[in-house]
Amino acid sequence: MKKENNNQSNFSQAIGKQTVKFHNPPAIISRAAIVGQMEGEGPLSSFFDQIENDPTFGMNSWEEGESEMVRRAIQTAITKSGLSKDNIRYILGGDLLGQLIGTTFGVKNFNIPLFGLYGACSTCGESLSLGAMLVAAGYAENVIAVTSSHYGSAEKQFRFPLEYGNQRPLSATWTVTGSGAFIVSSTCDKNIMNSYPKITAVTTGKIVDFGVVDNMNMGAIMAPAAADVIYQCLEDLSMKPDQFDKIITGDLGKVGSEILIKLLRDNNIEIADRHMDCGVEIFDCEKQDTHSGGSGCGCCAATLAGYILHNLDNGTWKKILFVPTGALLSTVSYNEGQTIPGIAHALIIEHK
């Protein structure tokens, strides 16, 4: 791959092995985070747009509740933006459930063209990356990136019936009930350019499989994928960790975060002083008994929509590396004795 595609260098640049840098970086002009009760009782409570105490969100099941949460996240982001929904050209979305039913039934009444995505809990990164790429290329003025997860629907699908009350090891994470929606928009208008956080580069991750087979230790599965994409992002852009105010992973939890820091340290990259994990932040793990931390597509999406972009808006941070992390767990492949591979995508988000 050549370092620069001169033919299109007016709007973006494919750099190194896995990175695209935008010359005209798209902005996140609106966002919304809708979460469940437990997330609302956690330390990030004040940053969410809506906290819903009913686990089915007024619907008949957890799955329908997850879709309703997705619908509310999209509607809230659109309403806050002041745009009409007719101005949104694409929705890029996904969730953890088989055949993406959280997303499907959540987006269907918006009548907007859909790209359904799956990257487990990294899907928030995948949707924002592809959304930014489509906008920066001029295919759309505005797109919505949306992801969700729900504790009830995820546990039911991936582990045990909740009624069974199974024991959870300390390495286990707690699936966040939450959805984050983002309107990613063109910055041809300079007012938009200066008023909103922008996605300035994306590094797309590969599947990384260290052979872990423990579905109660998702952090250990995802940490190598996170290390791989962070390493490659820094390499492709010739950057150092201290050029970021924060390096923020999706849902490694406490266990996975330690592994990530160690893996990068072994490669002479030190991030311990600026690393943060959405899964560790979203719950008070001791008090809320969530063990290693939060997880799920909704974990980093709700944390980005709420807490992280707030800190970029108010100038606490100017430039972050945001790295949603996914463990590609399936009960079918797991029960057939396969490993659980990981994947992670990295985005540079800046605001001046």
Report if residue 53 touches its own copies, rule: CB under 8 A.
no
Residue of the chain from 35, 73, 83, 140 that contacts its own copies (CB under 8 A): 140
Q: Which of residues 155-184 bind its own copies (CB under 8 A)?
A: 157
Residue of the chain from 3, 23, 54, 188 that contacts its own copies (CB under 8 A): 188
User: Cβ closer to its own copies: 17 or 352?
Assistant: 17
β-bridge pairing 178-185 and 142-149: antiparallel
Report if residue 9 touches its own copies, rule: CB under 8 A.
yes
Look-up of token digits 């797991």: 334
Whole-number Å distance between alpha carbons of 166 and 218: 17
Report if residue 256 touches its own copies, rule: CB under 8 A.
no
Look-up of token digits 């909704």: 298
Whole-number Å distance between alpha carbons of 189 and 227: 36
Whole-number Å distance between alpha carbons of 303 and 320: 14
Report if residue 239 touches its own copies, rule: CB under 8 A.
no
Q: What is the DSSP letter of 308?
A: I
Backbone phi, psi, residue 175, to 5°: -65, 125
Report if residue 97 touches its own copies, rule: CB under 8 A.
yes
Report if residue 101 touches its own copies, rule: CB under 8 A.
yes
Calculate the alpha carbon distances from 44 to 49, 308, 331, 350 in Å.
Answer: 11, 10, 31, 21
Report if residue 118 touches its own copies, rule: CB under 8 A.
yes
Q: Which of residues 208-227 bind its own copies (CB under 8 A)?
A: 209
Report if residue 205 touches its own copies, rule: CB under 8 A.
yes
Start-to-end CA distance of the chain, whole Å, equals 32
User: Cβ closer to its own copies: 5 or 46?
Assistant: 5
Angle (deg, nearest 10), helices 151-158 and 62-81: 140
Residue of the chain from 23, 54, 79, 108 that contacts its own copies (CB under 8 A): 108
Torsion angle of alpha carbons 351, 195, 85, 76, nearest 10°?
Answer: 70
Report if residue 128 touches its own copies, rule: CB under 8 A.
no
Report if residue 206 touches its own copies, rule: CB under 8 A.
yes
Burial of 116 (0-12, 13-18, 19+ CB in 10 A): middle
Residue of the chain from 61, 79, 243, 267 that contacts its own copies (CB under 8 A): 61
Report if residue 237 touches its own copies, rule: CB under 8 A.
no
The answer to whether 322 and 312 are in contact (CB under 8 A) is: no
Whole-number Å distance between alpha carbons of 127 and 297: 11
| AA letter at 111 | N
* Element at 226 (helix H, strand E): helix 218-237
CB 236 to its own copies: min, Å: 11
Q: What is the DSSP letter of 204?
A: P
Q: What length is written for the chain?
A: 352
Over the window 318 to 347, marking each residue x when it contacts its own copies by CB under 8 A and - when it does not, the resulting string is: ----------xxxxxx--x-x--x-x----
Whole-number Å distance between alpha carbons of 148 and 103: 8
CB 348 to its own copies: min, Å: 16
| AA letter at 182 | F
User: Cβ closer to its own copies: 179 or 311?
Assistant: 179
CB 44 to its own copies: min, Å: 27
Residue of the chain from 25, 26, 119, 224 that contacts its own copies (CB under 8 A): 119
Report if residue 204 touches its own copies, rule: CB under 8 A.
yes
Count of residues that interact with its own copies, criterion CB under 8 A:
70
Binding stretches for its own copies (CB under 8 A): 1-2, 5, 7-12, 14, 18, 20, 24, 60-61, 63-64, 86-87, 89-90, 94, 96-101, 104-105, 107-108, 111-120, 126, 130, 133-134, 136-141, 157, 186, 188, 204-207, 209, 328-333, 336, 338, 341, 343
